[in-house]
Amino acid sequence: MPRTPSSASRGLGIGLGGVTGGFIATTSSPGSFTVLFLVDAATFLVFVSAGYAVFELLPVFAKNEASVSEKGIGLIFLVNTVVIVVLQLPIAKLLEGRRRMRALAS
C-alpha cells in the first residue's frame, strides 16, 4: 500500500517526538519528565486550538459582522458537514494517481 502524505507525516511525527522526548526526559532528573509532559500538553493545545478555531470564530463573526441568525449558523455547519461527507470519497477517487498540489492550489 503506498504511503500517503498523512501517513508519512504521522511517521515523521512519531520519529521526531521520540527523539525530542529522549533529549528532554532523563531518569537522572525526574523533573525532566514534567517538562516533557508540559511540552506535550502545549503542542496538543496548539493543535486543538488550530483545528477547532472555526467552531469558535465562525459563529461570532457570522452573527456580529454578517447578521446571520443562530439557525443560519447551524445551517452553515450542517452544509459544511454534508459537503465534506458527500464529496470526500469522490474527490479522493478523482485525485488518485495525480499530483495533489495542483488540486490544493485550485
| Model confidence at 3: pLDDT above 90 | no
- Of the chain, the percentage scoring pLDDT greater than 90 comes to 32
User: What pLDDT, on a 0 to 100 scale, did the predictor assign at position 8?
Assistant: 73
| Model confidence at 53: pLDDT above 80 | no
Mean pLDDT of the chain: 85
Nearest CA among 84, 53, 83 for reference residue 61: 53
34 phi-psi bin (left φ>0, alpha ψ -120 to 50, beta other):
alpha
Alpha-carbon 45 to chain mean position: 11
User: What pLDDT, on a 0 to 100 scale, did the predictor assign at position 12?
Assistant: 83
Q: What count of Cα atoms within 13 Å lies in the side-chain half-sphere of residue 7?
A: 4
Q: How confident is the model at residue 101 (pLDDT cuts 50, 70, 90)?
A: confident
Alpha helices (H) along the chain: 5-24, 31-65, 70-95, 100-105
